[in-house]
Structure 1
Amino acid sequence: MSATPLFLGPAEIRELAADLDIRPTKTLGQNFVHDANTVRRIVTASGVGSDDVVLEVGPGLGSLTLGLLASAHQVLAVEIDPVLAGRLPETVADRAPDQAAALTVIGADALKITAADLPAMPTALVANLPYNVAVPVLIHLMSQLPSIQTALVMVQLEVAQRLAAGPGGRIYGVPSVKARFFGEVSQAGSVGRSVFWPEPKVESGLVRIRRYPQAPWPVDEAHRKRVFSVVDAAFAQRRKTLRGALSGLAGSPVKAEEWLRGAGIDPGLRGERLAIEDYVALAAQLD
């Protein structure tokens, strides 16, 4: 069994940041976790084990990375900030030397990562995602890396609630539908502000995606794009009925109505009433 890593506390986080002359920026969504119990909670909730290759996005100073290395077989850490990416291996070697060889740092933008950029195929995604790009990063990685079977990400609490929302609710929208294209989505708890430095102005939440064991629809990129184009159109003007909202995509309101009825959907409904299965059925009408 590997030795327990020395987690980063508030003092260590500030010392590391000062040493690197890091001033956390809102642009990169840099809020560093400094509470060991929160790290342990996230790792436990993720369910990763000794067989997992974990993809971590935005490892920052390494708080969550240390926790993941203690449980996973390998951690692939994608970090856009070259200063942070350069320091992370040193931090891990200093605080978890037994696990240092299991870490690979990839200096890249997570929104541009593909399978070809990674030395191994990840089985899990666990990350404290930057608030400003959380949903695009999550959707991009789930679409580009089908090897990811589970995802547990920390995002702004409101975003976690939207991702996990079901059809018919006020906060159900584009993120809710798109996340469900890949798997079952659920909230996995909330995280207070005090465990971060600097302290964010909003609460955080954990959201989990479990990829469908057997996808109930085609998951190739061309089909995914067709489904997502329908979703985007349906929610572009939320006050419109689907007959009106999809008229541009269909070519006219009349064609939109024919299209909807062909998929067994009432043209008078609005986008928030449809489940992912309905959007897949609509996309099939485009084939």
Structure 2
Amino acid sequence: MGDSLTVAIRFALYLDLMMLFGLALFGLYGLKGKERASGTVLRFESLLYCTSLLGIALSLVALGVLAKSMSGVSGFMELHHHFFQMILTGTDVGLSWQVRIAALLFAIVGISQYKRFATASLWGVTVAGAVALASLAWTGHGAMGEGSRGYWQLIGDVLHLLAAGAWLGALAAFALLLRCKSLKGEHEARLLARVLTGFESVGAVIVVVIGLTGAINYLFIVGPRIDGVMLSTYGALLFLKGLLFGAMIALAALNRFHLSPLLERSVRNGEYSVAVSALRRSLAFELSMAVVIIALVAWLGTLSPEVE
């Protein structure tokens, strides 16, 4: 029960902080000028507020679960204040927790200025979201290295998280743009087509970074071998994650080379309902696989593979 709760909280934190960072970043590279105003295209203000507040709540729960597991007590009511203080001041995980809370509070302050300075607010939330998301690297295998090797491993894990967050945020933004209520007319369809085309170069960079850092992280954690690893639970989950990532790349390529150009042609012809429906189906599959991958990452972070 304890392991299941830990995995569930890790999954929720990963999902929430990736959304916070990814959505704010999408607002910067995907939209222009007045399009960034909350409610014009996306309800950024409410979306970012909710993810920031949820991130704080989940972080508090995660700290309680960690304290309970480290203290060995049977119930949360038995935990003492000094034990929390010891975790916060005496462990790297506690330090990363404080950094995450500070970043999320900064994000909330930034969002409060959204109506007046939309672009500056998005920059502030993007930076704060990146810091909050990066702090999760200290709760997994990214913090297990020592010396200079440990720093490189941590950097690789942070870059992996940020790239994954950028991809998930973009998928969530596209899903919101593809809602029936959002596509009210030709103007919205043209905007969607332009944003999809604009994501092509960003998406390519994201895929390359995820692929490279994923391979580097594997070498740091397991070593240059696969024999024996695939027979373990860790190896099986990692293999499944790789398969899903490959399927996501295939769907992204389908969107890039077929569905996005189809939408552009359809908008010019004045009939885009078929192209939009095809994009909705493709995106639903891609977003579902992304969520499953994040669940696998949350689970993998609690396992201890053999390290060479």
Q: TM-score range by the shorter chain?
A: under 0.3
Q: Higher relative CO (CA 8 A, sep ≥ 6), structure 1 or 2?
A: 2
User: Normalising by the residue count of structure 1, what TM-score does the alignment of the two structures yield?
Assistant: 0.23
Q: Give the structure with the larger helix fraction.
A: 2
Q: Give the structure with the larger strand fraction.
A: 1
User: Normalising by the residue count of structure 2, what TM-score does the alignment of the two structures yield?
Assistant: 0.22
